[in-house]
Chain A
Amino acid sequence: MNNPSVDTAPPAADAATEPLLAVDNLHVEFVTRQGLVRAVNGVSYTVNPGESLAVLGESGSGKSVTAQAIMGILDMPPARIPKGEIRFRGTDLLKLSDQARSQIRGQRIAMIFQDALSSLNPVLTVGWQISEMFRVHRGMNKRDAMKKAVELMDRVRIPAARQRVNDYPHQFSGGMRQRIMIAMSIALDPEVLIADEPTTALDVTVQAQIMELLAELQRESNMGLILITHDLGVVADVADKIAVMYAGRIVEHAPVHDVYKSPAHPYSKGLLDSIPRVDMKGQELYAIKGLPPNLLDMPSGCAFHPRCPYRRDNCVTDVPPLYEISGTRGSACHYYREVLDDTVG
């Protein structure tokens, strides 16, 4: 909805043009004392210029790990990537040298994090931290870089930017701090921006402002935006398409409104049903039964089966592939038709 071209975009199958960023069958695992943790098990998604992809899932679903793998900021070891590709404009980032990757990181693919207070260096002024991007990557001198920092702070609408450029992170409110994170991330006009739960630490009114700002910046610069969140409410206004993750896999991907209208996976349906609604006031809030799976000891078959109301015997034994529903939709549920029928009917 932010970019009209998305509605008319050809199906992902079109191979003539590579997407801006394509994650393809990515696997990430962590070697721990307790054993091998398979955090990401074959995730694929794509983002095009001007497009917003919301990656949805609860803690431990692998959504942040996927993002960190794209950025190349995973600690390896303990993490390792046994399989998969991350193609940025057709080049597999995983095959690049460290040197080449650091040329992309921060400059062409940037990231903002959940808690801006802990994500900003407490002992350096915000202006210093923003201007560092220009000084290190563009070789600017301190004065010019500081001027750029003030411009950026203006652009993300921090009031009195010129006076506040020499303040420290703790002197700003939560929303303003996240704006500073955003200013820092867009400093060098990245082509892809990954926002990892950018509004989780903020109160609701500020959340809306930050999302609005992100959408606006995206419109202006035509970046691809990957929005990682567990909050379905945040997604609807900003995202073009959604990828729902569970236990390191994508269980459903679809254009945003399709998911809201008729989810095709029991997990997405559960997530939607658990959003509080005014017309359901007074009734008990729906909650998905059970707990997210232990990544050290994954359930057999479909990882969601212990919590799934649609469970049949084969769910316990057969891992569902990502069934294609239409050119733009997929669901990793053996019984997605039933799920679809339930919500439409």
Chain B
Amino acid sequence: MGRYIIRRLLQAIPVLLGTTFLIFAIVYALPGDPVQALAGDRRVDPVFAAALREQFHLNDPLIVRYGYYVRDIFSGDFGQTFRGLPVSTIFEGKFQVTFKLAATALIIEAIVGVLFGFWAALRRGGWEDKAILAFSLLLVSVPTLVSGFVLQLAIGVKLKQLTGTQILPVAGVQDGLRSYLLPGFVLATVSIAYLTRLTRTSLMETLRADFIRTAVAKGLPRRRVLGRHALRNSLIPLVTYLGADLGTLMGGAVITEAIFNLPGIGQQLFQSVYLRENSVVVGIVTVLVLIYIVANLVVDLLYAVLDPRIRYE
């Protein structure tokens, strides 16, 4: 097990190098001069520009610049922006916000998706099943951009006018974890739909398995057949999805963060791409890739917990 983890972490190194290099190359291939972008519309003093270019190795070939970057990252230095701010300072607090948002979304998604999926599977073909499937289709079809603003308006304005109280915060992070509930739900909507359908299919498949027939033939109560014999076997595909989704949620929170005014990494990423702060963009992506890799490793390790047939050595 320990050796497996080490091997997996070693495997992560080429993945990390590959992805960061790609991002690095793409970001720097974007048209426009970063030094000019700093100055906006004004003319830049050529001597000053040349000095900046020298300082940031902009005259070196791409691969050399990437080499410098990787060297620094391994010593924990994400570099600095053109304005001289260390990138790690810009990160400060922002990953926490996005992580809390993604984690909230993941928890909501897991609870709602699994519950609805189980419900639908157990009522296969019944009206509950059809209603849940239709509802999940609706969730997939409504983009975050719409559901975010609609819920913000409904809860933050309309409901407040009606009842005089605001049941949930609709912007900012000043209310602690409560602030994340509504944006977390909005971020989770599409995944809820997928997870519901995945859970439904997975449980239905498990319920057709021979060992479920055995459990019934043992004269076990239905609750026990479902809870002890079907549940764990149908969790495996769900864990895969949830693990991969953590990365997607963290990277995909840009719009949600913008709507709910959460100072997270998504907003920063958008801003940095816009301002051509390449070092920040690459830095953020690197950390996101790392999170993705770790989440996938955790998923693989969870497999072994759920299914004794899977063993790592």
Interface Cβ pair total, 8 Å cutoff: 67
> Is B229 touching A170 in the complex (CB atoms < 8 A)?
no
Query: With A73-B213, A73-B216, A123-B232 in contact, is A102–B221 under 8 Å at CB?
Result: yes
Question: What mask results when residues 216 to 230 of chain B are scored 1 for a CB within 8 Å of chain A, else 0?
Answer: 111111001000110
Q: Are A71 and B308 in contact (CB under 8 A)?
A: no
Contact B309 A168 (CB under 8 A): yes
Interface range on chain B (Cβ under 8 Å from partner): 20 to 34
Distance in Å: Cβ of A87 to nearest Cβ of chain B? 19
Nearest CB to that of B229 among chain A residues? A121
Name the distance in Å between A276's Cβ and chain B's nearest Cβ. 30
Task: Give the contacts of B202-222 with A (CB-CB under 8 A).
Answer: 209-211, 213-221
User: Smallest CB–CB gap between B228 and chain A, Å?
Assistant: 8
- Would B217 and A110 count as touching, CB distance under 8 A? yes
* Of listed A106, A115, A170, residue having the most chain B CB within 10 A: A106
Question: Does B307 lie at the interface of the complex (its beta carbon under 8 Å from any beta carbon of A)?
Answer: yes
B201 part of interface (Cβ distance < 8 Å): no
User: What is the distance, in angstroms, from B304's C-beta to the closest C-beta of chain A?
Assistant: 11
Contacting pair B307 A105 (CB below 8 A): no
| Contact call A122/B233, Cβ cutoff below 8 A | yes
**How far, in whole Å, are A102 and B215 apart by their CA atoms in the complex?**
12
How many A residues touch B, CB cutoff 8 Å?
27
Contact status B217-A73, CB under 8 Å: yes
Q: List the B side residues contacting A107 at CB < 8 Å.
A: 219
Question: Does A137 make an interface contact (CB < 8 A)?
Answer: yes
Asked whether A118 and B233 contact (CB < 8 A) given A71-B217, A73-B217, A170-B309, the answer is no
Q: Check if A54 is an interface residue, CB within 8 A of chain B.
A: no
State which residues 84-137 of A face B: CB under 8 Å. Answer: 102-107, 110-111, 113, 115, 118-124, 132-133, 136-137
User: Can you give 28 contacting A-B residue pairs, CB < 8 Å?
Assistant: A71-B217, A102-B219, A102-B221, A103-B219, A104-B219, A105-B217, A105-B219, A106-B217, A106-B218, A107-B219, A110-B217, A113-B213, A118-B210, A119-B211, A120-B211, A120-B214, A121-B211, A121-B229, A122-B233, A122-B308, A123-B307, A123-B308, A124-B228, A133-B218, A136-B221, A137-B219, A170-B309, A184-B214
Measuring CB to CB, which residues of chain A are less than 8 angstroms from any residue of chain B? Answer: 71, 73, 102-107, 110-111, 113, 115, 118-124, 132-133, 136-137, 168, 170, 181, 184
